[in-house]
Structure 1
Amino acid sequence: MHARIADRGRLRKVSTRLVHEHQVIAVDALTVSDMVKNHRLARAISDASWRERRGMLKNILAAGPAES
């Protein structure tokens, strides 16, 4: 449980830094469910938590620079 919370904190810091350091951020519309079908890469893809990363970026961008 604590590792998951710490990971969310790290994702938030990375997402905030990306928003502040770059003018343009592009997120590809990948289908993770299709990529997980490759059993050799499934664990690494699942551990990357791309959906959560995209959600954090979206929230930070919606909040604006003053609130992030």
Structure 2
Amino acid sequence: MGGAYAGLTLSRVEALQAIGVSLSLGVILAGILASLLLIPPAMALLKSRFWWPLTGAGRSGGGAGKVEGS
């Protein structure tokens, strides 16, 4: 998405260039901040439930839908 907005910077219209730069930087920064500031706390809060696919029927850890500590 940031790359698509960066395409606006190739425009000959100065206003579109400014919009393209600001949108592409905003999208890229929002993605970085979300991955740095939101994902780690979510992992800490959800603990083993965060990794729910790993406790499927084919894995050694129990049946599908089984969560440790519940």
TM-score bin, normalised by smaller chain: 0.3 to 0.5
TM-score (norm: length of structure 1): 0.34
* Bigger helix share: 2
**1 or 2 for the larger relative contact order (CA 8 Å, sep ≥6)?**
1
Please identify the structure whose Cα radius of gyration is greater.
Answer: 2
